[in-house]
Amino acid sequence: MEKGITQLYILIAKVTGLMNLQKNYSLKYLNTFGVDVIAKYFLEIHSEKELDEFIQSDLRKNEQLLIIGGGSNILFTRDYDGVVLKFSKKGISVIEQKEDFVLIESSAGELWDDLVKYTVRNKLYGIENLSLIPGSVGAAPIQNIGAYGTELKDVLHSVEYYDLDDGSLKNLSNAQCNFGYRNSIFKNELKNKFIITKVILKLSLVKKFNLSYKSLSDELKNTPEHELTIETVSEAVRNIRRSKLPDPDLLGNAGSFFKNPEMDNETFQLFINKFPDAIYFEQSDNTYKISAGWLIEKCGYKGKRIGNVGAYEKQALIITNYGGATGNEILEYAEKIISDVKNNFGIELNSEVNIIQ
């Protein structure tokens, strides 16, 4: 049987010219929810040359395409009838250094946390608050990842991407990425038209930290200022995340399932008068984020399990697969949460997770 499958793969590769191509491939270990779905084709590529070969192939012309990174922000509710492509090229290097900053370039296939560890080792300040975030470097700009008072947009210099329409490599500056809260041009104007190949960050050589986020400042409150290092800040973030978030290798999840809803000042004042114990975050533009975790917990979901799906016992914002749940079961659970939050608070929650339906 294995010989027959191998011969089939070789035949597909010869026909398409894509030697890494696999057919009817399980994606269970390529998404952190651990949902077992099948891709009609799966292709992992490690260079721009291989990417060119795929773009010019009949497979690209005839099949729908889905790009994945670390699979940490995706929910499959069905098998994927097309090509799932993973760009896995790695490499991190300093491309420019000035007196007080450096530009570092990372290939999209690097794990995000490996890049953070590199910057911590080399005392390059700016992304230590983003320690232990799962996923790939290439996925980070799409989502404008953020945590503990820092967002990628704060340090991103530019993005190189492969244009799927004309087959060229292009660059976008920070401003051109149109970053917003868990949003970017890649989710909007360029949706389904790109593959990110490189990310360039501008990091500081001058020691400075962002400790504005309460849980982070609380974690470090007993550390004297003169003893603060990039290592201690990064480790503090890791400790917080480990204490609140489940390890996806042990319990399937995609981190925060929902965005924190945003309100203008007038709407917020009406809301907080009605719910004075709500957890919220004031932003620099006089708008407010309401804690989605608080809303969900108040609706009784924290630790609540339905079948193989539940809201994590330590953080209601995280929906977990306790083993064997289908994508549709996870989605149904999420939809129950959305409905109950809407009925109780008049607020519509929006998913952070990319749902494939």
pLDDT in tens, 113-140: 999 999 999 999 999 999 999 999 999 9
Q: Which of 57, 88, 106, 256 is catalytic?
A: 256
Active site residue 57: no
Given a cut of 80, whether residue 218 has pLDDT beyond it is yes
Q: Of 8-17, 38-47, 61-70, 106-115, where does mean pLDDT reach its minimum?
A: 8-17
pLDDT in tens, 159-189: 999 999 888 999 999 999 999 999 999 999 9
Domain containing residue 43: CATH number? 3.30.43.10
- Look at residue 97 in the predicted model and tell me its pLDDT: 97
Let me know whether 78 and 190 are in one domain: no
Rounded CA-CA distance 190/194 in Å is 7
Q: pTM to 2 decimals?
A: 0.88
Let me know whether 184 and 313 are in one domain: no
Q: Label residue 178 left, alpha or beta by phi (over 0 means left) and psi (-120 to 50 means alpha).
A: left
User: What is the share, in percent, of the chain residues with pLDDT greater than 70?
Assistant: 95
- Look at residue 166 in the predicted model and tell me its pLDDT: 87
pLDDT band for position 145 (50/70/90)? very high
User: What is the share, in percent, of the chain residues with pLDDT greater than 90?
Assistant: 88
Rounded CA-CA distance 237/242 in Å is 9
Let me know whether 274 and 319 are in one domain: yes
- Look at residue 9 in the predicted model and tell me its pLDDT: 42
Q: Which helix or strand (DSSP H or E) is residue 345 part of? A: helix 327-345
Given a cut of 70, whether residue 272 has pLDDT beyond it is yes
pLDDT band for position 6 (50/70/90)? very low
Given a cut of 90, whether residue 82 has pLDDT beyond it is yes
Q: What 3-state class would DSSP assign to 194?
A: strand
Let me know whether 157 and 24 are in one domain: no
Number of domains composing the chain: 3
Residues 205 and 155: beta-carbon distance below 8 Å: no
Given a cut of 80, whether residue 18 has pLDDT beyond it is no
Let me know whether 192 and 98 are in one domain: yes
> What's the average model confidence in pLDDT over 39-56?
94
Let me know whether 240 and 268 are in one domain: no
Domain containing residue 213: CATH number? 3.30.465.10
Structural domain containing residue 231: 92-244
What distances in angstroms separate CA 90 from CA 128, 159, 247, one per listed residue?
20, 15, 24
- Choose one of 244, 269, 290: the last residue of a domain: 244
- Look at residue 11 in the predicted model and tell me its pLDDT: 41
- Look at residue 17 in the predicted model and tell me its pLDDT: 54
Q: Of 104-108, 248-252, 308-312, where does mean pLDDT reach its minimum?
A: 248-252
- Look at residue 81 in the predicted model and tell me its pLDDT: 97
Given a cut of 50, whether residue 8 has pLDDT beyond it is no
Active site residue 121: no
> What's the average model confidence in pLDDT over 69-88?
96
Active site residue 256: yes
Q: Give the angle subtended at the CA of 65 by the CAs of 60 and 69, to the nearest 5°.
A: 120
Averaged pLDDT of the chain? 93
Residues 39 and 54: beta-carbon distance below 8 Å: no
Q: Which of 88, 107, 182, 184 is catalytic?
A: 182
Domain containing residue 285: CATH number? 3.90.78.10
Let me know whether 135 and 202 are in one domain: yes
- Choose one of 59, 87, 115: the last residue of a domain: 87
Given a cut of 60, whether residue 7 has pLDDT beyond it is no
Given a cut of 50, whether residue 15 has pLDDT beyond it is no
- Look at residue 271 in the predicted model and tell me its pLDDT: 97
Let me know whether 213 and 96 are in one domain: yes
Let me know whether 194 and 327 are in one domain: no
Let me know whether 82 and 96 are in one domain: no
Q: Which helix or strand (DSSP H or E) is residue 342 part of? A: helix 327-345
- Look at residue 283 in the predicted model and tell me its pLDDT: 86
Query: And the tokens for 135?
Result: 């996923």
pLDDT in tens, 288-303: 999 999 999 999 999 9
pLDDT band for position 111 (50/70/90)? very high
Let me know whether 98 and 216 are in one domain: yes
Let me know whether 297 and 234 are in one domain: no
